[in-house]
Amino acid sequence: MVEVGYYNGKYGPLAEMEIPMLDRACYFGDGVYDFSLAHKDKIFVIDEHIDRIYKSAAMIEIDIPYSKEEMKAILYEAISKSECEDVSVYWQVSRGTDIRNHIYPGADKKANLMIMVKPGKVAGIDKRFKLITLEDTRYLHCNIKTINLLPSVIASEKARKAGCDEAVLHRGDRVTECSHCNVSILQNGTFRTAPTDNLILPGIARAHLIKACHELGIPVDETPFTLKELMEADEVIVSSSSTLCIQATEIDGKPVGGKDPLNMDKIRNAVYKEFYDYMGI
């Protein structure tokens, strides 16, 4: 198989997999998820992704019916069934299967695990993004990696229609994050990124950018920044598990960044080197 599906112990070709209509993911989006890239037999920083999905599940009181080691073993078995060396792996846990009711199911209803494996590689180190800005209309628990993603889907489509790669979201004048990435800036030699409060997802790639900055001696400022500061930044950086560290060159049709190529290259090269070393590429 090239594209692999998994649901509660059953594997098969992704396009042929089915889930019960009464899975609470279908009618409530009642679940959490995570995502990483894999090369051959390695999933990038898998322990960090495992920890995050368990934290997200705990925040909405979903009891994952596997230990972290069992979850990891299932994920590795799933990627082993793909014929491709480079794949993306997405996994989600829903609250379970039960007749539609806003109240949580009883303790006898176990959470459901779904996995999708398909070909996927990290974005090229020379990739550049064009962005648009949109008001952040999501709810106030963005720190939970929930499968309730409709506002992000709408924002992503608006970006596509505008000929852009991503949408930068903001609440009033405060920049939060992108529709499915974190956004950070370089200003006066300092790496600035929004704090991991309830308005952004604590991105794993974001954490590795911070780690790289500390190792490179680049100061880090985890406080909110504004739209004006975004537009006037020396560099604008978009990060996620699939993009790692992408330089933005345009926002709302206006050129941005390009003023601190030395630090931009240092950070980007360090993050990509860590990825390639970890994956043995």
Q: What is the pLDDT of residues 52-75, one digit of tens each?
A: 999 999 999 999 999 999 999 999
Calculate the average pLDDT of the chain.
97
Q: Tell me the DSSP string of 7-71.
A: ETTEEEEGGG----TTBHHHHH--EEEEEEEEETTEETTHHHHHHHHHHHHHHTT---SS-HHHH
Q: How far apart are the first and last CA of the chain?
A: 23
Flag whether pLDDT at 159 surpasses 90. Answer: yes
pLDDT at site 269: 98
Phi and psi at residue 78, to the nearest 5°: -65, -45
Q: What is the DSSP letter of 102?
A: S
Flag whether pLDDT at 37 surpasses 90. Answer: yes
What is the pLDDT confidence band of residue 181, given thresholds at 50, 70 and 90?
very high
Residues 164-171: what's their mean pLDDT? 98
Instruction: Name the nearest CA neighbour of 239 among 277, 276, 279, 267.
Output: 267
pLDDT at site 107: 87
CA triple 117-178-129, angle to 5 deg = 85
pLDDT at site 212: 98
What is the pLDDT confidence band of residue 125, given thresholds at 50, 70 and 90?
very high
For the chain, the domains span 4-119, 128-279
Residues 156-182: what's their mean pLDDT? 98
Q: Is 252 helix (H, G, I), strand (E, B) or coil?
A: coil
CATH number of 4-119: 3.30.470.10
The percent of residues above 90 in pLDDT, for the chain, comes to 99
pTM score of the predicted model: 0.95
Residues 243-264: what's their mean pLDDT? 98
Flag whether pLDDT at 118 surpasses 90. Answer: yes
pLDDT at site 173: 98
Over residues 217-241, the pLDDT tens digits come to 999 999 999 999 999 999 999 999 9
What is the CATH topology of the domain spanning 128-279? D-amino Acid Aminotransferase; Chain A, domain 2 (3.20.10)
Instruction: Name the nearest CA neighbour of 244 among 279, 187, 204.
Output: 204
Catalytic residue among 81, 145, 211, 266: 145
Active-site annotation holds for 211: no
